[in-house]
Chains A and B, each alone.
Chain A
Amino acid sequence: MGMATALKQTPLFEVYGKFGAKVIDFGGWALPVQFSSILDEHEAVRTKAGLFDVSHMGEVLVVGKDAERYINYLCTNDVTKLVINQAQYTAMCYPDGGTVDDLLVYKLDNEKYLLVINAANIEKDFEWMQQHAKGEMALQNISNEVAQIAIQGPNAEGVLQKLTETDLSKIGSFRFVQHVNLDGITDVLVSRTGYTGEDGFELYLSASQAEALWVKLLEVGNDDGLKPCGLGARDTLRLEARLALYGQELLPDISPLEAGIGFAVKTNKVNDFIGKYALLAQKEAGLKRKLVGIEVTGRGIPRHGYKVVSEDGEAIGVVTSGTQSPSLKKSIGLALIAAEHTEVGTPLKVEIRNKLIEAVVVKTPFYKKG
């Protein structure tokens, strides 16, 4: 594959081939879209466990006396609520309320935080962060030195526990443990977070140890049905769980409120933050458009960018993501549409190859574990 040389690679690129990966260009990165089959991998995560290389994600350290104050100004959620070893989902906004990125903030220590950002946004985000740096704090882009491996699914804890003395059952949701030893692989940050709608962990470690951990996990997880999974399954899993994807649900002209992640926007927090006034104004005026779940009841699959029209044929918005749901065996999607059409049960139409296909607004998440 000639293309791979021009694309960025994660520290795990070399092992993809051994596991049968089909590698594609994903926003400038050579990443596995699948190993065996998207449907099999999706099923493995829902019923057993799946292993994902997500090392393309970016990591930025914020260190210093003013780190907390800085992050609270930069991000929409309230970082002061975090205790050490707790993570928080949040967003960075432009002054007009549009979204710079969505991210996770890890509180490593009182004056030390790790921000995990989207791969396609690393440069843009880091520049944005630097522009707003203030007070006694330093920013460090450690994206290239850090690998991230996600192990997700009901068997994830059991598999991971085989490699460590650290009692993983004690790690709550959005909590993490630092400096874990995973069978000789040292200094791993083990976080109970994920992007699949299943229980599981995200593991941050030095890039040089990524391959060893990947191979080891697949070895000890084999009996528990652990499978290597690609970005294809990651996308269907996150969509069923209604987790937003930057570039689709979130964009510079879509606010986190419109995208339905208002739970990560704390307009009432004490400190000022970038985008606060625009977001407050959106809240007060009422949202003009909202992200909803749709199910296509006619024949067809909604895809990113397809038009959505009302029963009366009026253009009301677009599909941001869509797929044939492997878990539900239904054609589902997320659509950003005019607020007056967003009530559950509202009939709509999606334009699929010049035909208007019947759809309906449904409750999300489409899939809930257990």
Chain B
Amino acid sequence: MTKATATLLYSKEHEWVLQLDGNRVRVGISDFAQKQLGDIVFVETPELDDEVTANESMGTIESVKAVSDLYSPVSGTVVLVNEELGDAPETINEHPYEAGWLVEVEMSNPDELESLLNEEAYQAYINEGEE
């Protein structure tokens, strides 16, 4: 467990959530997810002011081989989008927890955080799937 990820929460769809000020969170995909996807060549995140819903598709991520949905781990309004990813989607492979973040969301229902996994539970969840 690295310092960078110790405070993150995770969804079962392999998105991470970092709590910022108030009801604002930053969202990205986990290191496990980027490794599973392989070389990421295209990302379509929601746009500014879009509404997103927990556990529903909020965009698309494509590796060389495959197209996958991005699921929002929380409900709310998109308040910031990582525009850098448009030209450099590989940043998600390189720095999934830092420069490779996807969007920031102002949550409409912060209670949803309770259904997310902490680092330990997420690691256990991944290991379960690998067996």
- Chain A residues engaging chain B, CB cutoff 8 angstroms: 22, 33-34, 37-39, 232, 235-236, 299-301, 303, 323-324, 326, 331, 353
Contact = CB atoms under 8 A, between A and B. Distances in A.
B60 interface: yes
B42 A301 contact: yes
A50 B44 CA distance: 32
Contacts of B65: 33, 38, 232, 235
Contacts, number: 37
Contacts of B60: 353
A103 to B, nearest CB: 25
A39 B64 contact: yes
B45 to A, nearest CB: 12
B64 A324 contact: yes
B39 interface: yes
Contact of A38 (B38, B42, B44): B38
Contacts of B62: 301, 324
A301 B41 contact: yes
Nearest to B62: A301
Contact of A236 (B44, B64, B86): B64
A350 to B, nearest CB: 13
Number of chain B interface residues as a range: 10 to 19
Contacts of B67: 301, 303
Interface in B47-76: 60, 62-65, 67
Contact of A326 (B42, B64, B86): B64
Contacts of A37: 38-39
The 9 A-B pairs of least Cβ separation, nearest first, read: A324-B41, A38-B64, A39-B39, A232-B65, A37-B39, A38-B39, A301-B42, A301-B62, A38-B38
**DSSP class of A's interface residues: helix, strand, loop or mixed?**
mixed
A35 B130 CA distance: 18
B42 A22 contact: no
Interface in B15-42: 38-39, 41-42
A236 B39 CA distance: 12
A227 to B, nearest CB: 14
B49 to A, nearest CB: 19
B69 to A, nearest CB: 10
Contacts of A323: 64
Interface of B: 38-39, 41-42, 44, 60, 62-65, 67, 86
Residue with the highest number of chain A CB atoms closer than 10 Å, among B39, B64, B67, B86: B64
A22 B64 contact: no
Given A303-B67, A324-B62, A22 B41 contact: no
A357 to B, nearest CB: 11
B37 to A, nearest CB: 11
5 contacts: A232-B64, A235-B65, A299-B42, A299-B44, A323-B64
A34 B35 CA distance: 12
A3 to B, nearest CB: 12
Contacts of B41: 301, 324
A16 to B, nearest CB: 16
A300 B42 contact: yes
Contacts of A39: 39, 64
Contacts of A300: 42, 44
A324 B38 contact: no
Nearest to A39: B39
B89 to A, nearest CB: 9
